[in-house]
Structure formats: C-alpha cells, structure tokens
Structure 1
Amino acid sequence: MPETPGLPPASTRRAVVAAAGGAGLAAVLTACGSDSGSGSASDTPAPDAPTSDSGSGGSGGGGDVLARTSDIPVGGGKVFADQKVVVTQPAAGRFKGFSAVCTHRGCTVIDVSDGTINCPCHGSKFKVEDGSVAHGPATSPLPPKTVTVSGDGITLG
C-alpha cells in the first residue's frame, strides 16, 4: 500500500474506517428519530361527520380525500405513509385516525393486520381501536389524528 505524504499508513486507514463508521451511525440514528409520545393538545370534534371519530393532532390536508370508506377493512386499516397517518375501522362504519409515526423510535408503521398497527423497526404493535400499545417496546400510544367521513370519502382534519 502506498504511503500518503504527511500521514503514516495506519493513521490513514484508521481515519477512513472511523469516518465510515461515524457516517453509518449517523444514518441509523437519523432513521430511528427520537423517542416521543407528544402530539397536539387540541381536541376538535368533526361536527359534520357523525360517523367519524375525532382526536388530537389533526394536522393535514383537510379537504383532499385520503381514502374511500371501502378502502379501509372492518377490523383493520390502512397506512398512508406520505401523510404520516393510519386510518382504521375497528367496527363497521366507525373510522379512527392515528399518527403513523411509532412512539418508540420514530419509524413509520408499515401495515395493519390481525387487529394491530405494526411497526417494522422494533416490533411495536398498536391496537386499531384506540392506538394503545398492544406489544412493546413502545410504551406510549399512537397520537390520534382527526379523520372526517363525508359520503364515502375520508379526509384528514
């Protein structure tokens, strides 16, 4: 291996390995986010939608149809990663919205199956009924998001 002028060969190799390791660690920490169970404290009921459940943290694209009611299975749900929201239908005609950001380390949940909202990063599971923790390591529930049902359309806010 040729020597780099001004640096001993071992120092160059160590610098490259340390820089690569540091960059990898930074990428992992950025992907995992931070431990947060916080959400907005405002509770805003949806007066024009008797079939929707309202919660806090309703920030989003109110007005644009997110999904059709037929897209959300009874007892299940669907993750909308771009909007960072999960919409569930725990009982026929009852729709709930939750943040799609896992409260354990900030990963985006991946799917809804067998009555739980599932995070791929560390295996946390949340109940479709209320976003509460069904299986850790998460200890805080998913913050609710306001969803509104109008006709067969579901919107945020």
Structure 2
Amino acid sequence: MSEIRSVPEAQTGPTRRQVLQAGTGIVVGLGATTALTACGGGSGSDGPTPSGEPVTVAKADIPVGGALLLDTKYAVTQPNAGEFKAFSKTCPHQGCEVSQIHEKSLVCACHTSLFSINDGSRESGPARTGLREVAVREDGDNLLVG
C-alpha cells in the first residue's frame, strides 16, 4: 500500500524571512535580527572602503568629542577641537553598517562591536580590526570627506 502525503499549499505571501529582511530597523530586536541575516557569512574581512565623489559636511555639525554619522557610508569625528577624522561605516566583522554613537564610541548594532571616535580602532565586540580611515580635508567652514 502506498503512503499518502499531504503537499503543502502554494504560498500566497512573503515568507517570514523575507518580511524580516525587508523590515530593517522597525524594532530594535528586529533590526538586529535583520542586520544579522543581511550581513551573511562570517568572512571577517575588513570590508570595502567607500569611494566616489567627496561628501561635504559643515564643521559645525560635528560635536567636539563626538561624531556624526552621515547618510553616506561615512562617520566623521572630532576627537579634539579642530581635529577631524573620517571612517568608513562598514564594520570589519561582517559588513554591517555602524549605525549608532554611544559616548565616545561608534557602534555596529548588528553584533555590538565598538570603535573609538579618536582613531576608529576596535574597542570591543567580535570585530577583529578597527574601521578604515577615510580622507578628510578642510575647505573653509566645511570638510570634504572621501
């Protein structure tokens, strides 16, 4: 006698995984889950350095002792008054984007790696190296980043 097996019905909507991947950052928990699936396998590479036309940012927008995360792939810091540095926001752990600032650290929320605003070096977390430094030059009251 042959065994009767039920065949699953055709799916009519997106899968749970597709919904999670599309819903980046809706809720902190979902944002972390989404980023985890988005950053793929653990290659541990340093990640790409952003390229293209330099981005202009006003010096006044960057707090002394703090940082500004640009809409582009850059983070710009001012560790000390008048000293500006820029870094790629691509986390060297698995390529997620640094998306938060906590005290004097840049934070990759995917796996909680922390990087110094002073020099982009790794402070903690699974990342093995720091963020890649990006060229930044002064242009009057602005900075040209990248």
What TM-score, normalized to structure 2? 0.72
Q: For the aligned residues, what is the CA RMSD? A: 2.8
Contact 2:47 2:91 in 1 (8 A): no
Moved more, 22-31 or 130-139: 22-31
Q: Is the 8 A contact 1:33 1:107 kept in 2?
A: no
Distance 1:147 1:98 in 2: 9
Aligned to 1:12: 8
Which runs of 5 or more structure 2 residues have no equivalent in the other structure? 23-33
**Matched residues, number:** 127
Which residue of 2 is the match for residue 145 of structure 1?
134
In the superposition, relative to structure 1, how do residues 151 and 26 fare at CA in structure 2: closer, same or farther (>3 Å)?
closer
CA gap 1:113/1:30 in 2 versus in 1, 3 angstroms: closer
Matches within 5 A, 1:66-105: 67-81=57-71, 83-105=72-94
Aligned partners of 2:47 and 2:95 also within 8 Å: no
Which residue identity lines up with residue 73 of structure 1 in the other structure?
P
What's the CA shift for 1:12?
2.1
- Mapped to 1, the partners of 2:127 and 2:60 lie a distance apart of 30
Taking only the aligned residue pairs, the percentage that are identical comes to 39
Q: Which residue of 2 aligns with 1:60?
A: 52
Could you say which structure has the higher helix fraction?
A: 1
- Distance (whole Å) between structure 1 residues aligned to residue 68 and residue 74 of structure 2: 9
- Structure 1 unaligned segments of length 5 or more: list them: 1-6, 40-56
User: Higher relative contact order by CA 8 Å / sep ≥ 6: 1 or 2?
Assistant: 1
Partner of 1:155: 144
Q: Deviations over 1:84-122 (max 9, x none)?
A: 010000111000010001111111111223110111111
| 1:37 aligns to 2:46 (yes or no) | yes
The secondary structure found in structure 2 opposite 1:12 is: coil
Q: State which of 119, 135, 138 in structure 1 corresponds to 2:124.
A: 135
Whole-angstrom CA distance in 2 between matches of 1:33 and 1:155: 32
